[in-house]
Amino acid sequence: MNKSIAILGAQWGDEGKGKIVDLLTEKSEAVVRFQGGHNAGHTIVVENKKTILHLIPSGILHNDVKCIIGNGVVLSLDALSDEIEVLQKNNIDVNGRLFISDNCPLILPVHIALDQAREQKKGKEKIGTTGRGIGPAYEDKISRRGIRFGDLANQQNLHEKLKELLEYHNFILKNYYNCEIFDIEETYQNLLSHYDVYKNYLIDAPLYIEQLFLNNKKIVFEGAQGSLLDIDHGTYPFVTSSNTTIGGIFTGSGISPKRVDYTLAIVKAYTTRVGSGPFVTELFDENGKILSERGHEFGATTGRERRCGWLDLVALKRSIIINGFTGICLTKLDVLDTFPKIKVCIEYKDNKPIYKEYEGWQKSLSGIKKYSDLPDKAKIYIKDIENFLEIPIDIISNGPGREENIIINKFF
């Protein structure tokens, strides 16, 4: 059995990773997030109760699982504090279970203001970001201007760094965007007060994770967003600012590529996207509306309506090549239950989709636990996807609940 697995979105995010991470972390001792920030929205339903996590790894709902935020994550301490509060209200204690890399770059309020000011200025050309400051925080990391979680330990240095950072951004905010500027002392005090609360969470993540491996612990690496939003390999410039593909695990947590035994692609049985950018199979007709309604396709972070379309195997094939996935978890298959015809894109011609059409099964898949119990028409759809992508579908998710799955291959 595999000791460590990676779970990555293979489309534009919102494939249903949160649910699957939650399901598979039940068998693990630790879960690691390695990129993105609180732009993510991982929805988990346990006993009809919905929890949406943005920053804290989805394993937190299992009492004895350690949750690690790796250096590749951009960390908003305000968002962390809000999320911990929500969890605590639901009797989930994070103390002694949540660990944060000292190298995490911080998202400051100024980054959020910059993100939003830019989007506003771009008008119709906007990226459609979540407005959480993700891009500006990563830019500061790369420019070596950023402040990292571990920097909060040294107050003197912190003040100097913060002054330099805010003077730079305040100039742009005031003179270019005509926006409010940020007070150095106020930001400084806010950071220190957070540090007081969260300093015990600080770890040297690569060594901490290595120790878990040496102690034979089972580990899940939890991706956020999806491959097509990758800063290098996605639909640039309509992407997020991190590596959502496989390489992000290694740079974003400090482990060796040899450590990941199995990589699971989370693939929604159709396609959605939030924000701007190309989307070859997007539907503007009644079918798109049905997908949106049956799939409850509204952003978990921003509440925005997601754009919906048929499954795009051309884009997926590319994701599979880049990530080298071992297997697939096909999610939200039940959303297709009512369609008399279902289409799948198998080729692009002049940037337009060429579809293969399938007969819909027009039966409820809800409650099915075994592959053999699926309607034949659903099996044809599933087998064709496997054949085209040339990797096995190991799990099918047929409902939002933790238990609503068909496990075809137990790999963890």
Provide the binding-site residues for ligand IMP, judged by CB under 6 A: 12-14, 39-41, 127-130, 132, 134-135, 224-225, 229, 238, 240-241, 274-275
List active site positions.
14, 42
Query: In this complex, which beta carbon is closest to ligand IMP, that of residue 171 or of residue 236?
Result: 236
Query: In this complex, which beta carbon is closest to ligand IMP, that of residue 74 or of residue 191?
Result: 74
Pairing of strands 219-226, 4-9: parallel
Least distance between ligand IMP and beta carbon 263 (Å): 19
Query: In this complex, which beta carbon is closest to ligand IMP, that of residue 53 or of residue 283?
Result: 53
Least distance between ligand IMP and beta carbon 37 (Å): 8
Query: In this complex, which beta carbon is closest to ligand IMP, that of residue 128 or of residue 375?
Result: 128
Least distance between ligand IMP and beta carbon 226 (Å): 7
Least distance between ligand IMP and beta carbon 282 (Å): 14
Q: Which of 356, 363, 305 is closest to 338 using CA atoms?
A: 363
Least distance between ligand IMP and beta carbon 1 (Å): 30
Least distance between ligand IMP and beta carbon 138 (Å): 9
Query: In this complex, which beta carbon is closest to ligand IMP, that of residue 137 or of residue 191?
Result: 137
C-beta of residue 401 within 8 angstroms of C-beta of residue 325: no
Query: In this complex, which beta carbon is closest to ligand IMP, that of residue 213 or of residue 298?
Result: 298
Tokens representing 263?
């990589």
Amino acid of residue 153: A
Query: In this complex, which beta carbon is closest to ligand IMP, that of residue 4 or of residue 331?
Result: 331
Q: Other CB atoms closer than 10 Å to residue 193's CB: what's the count?
A: 12
* Contacting residues for 298 by C-beta, under 8 A, at least 6 apart: 304, 305, 306
For the chain, what's the residue count? Answer: 412
C-beta of residue 157 within 8 angstroms of C-beta of residue 151: yes
Least distance between ligand IMP and beta carbon 32 (Å): 17
Q: Which of 211, 253, 311 is closest to 6 using CA atoms?
A: 253
C-beta of residue 265 within 8 angstroms of C-beta of residue 6: no
Q: What residues does 317 pair with on adjacent strands?
A: none
CA 323 to chain centroid:
15
C-beta of residue 221 within 8 angstroms of C-beta of residue 17: no
Burial class (CB in 10 A: 0-12, 13-18, 19+), 223: buried
Query: In this complex, which beta carbon is closest to ligand IMP, that of residue 115 or of residue 151?
Result: 115
Least distance between ligand IMP and beta carbon 111 (Å): 10
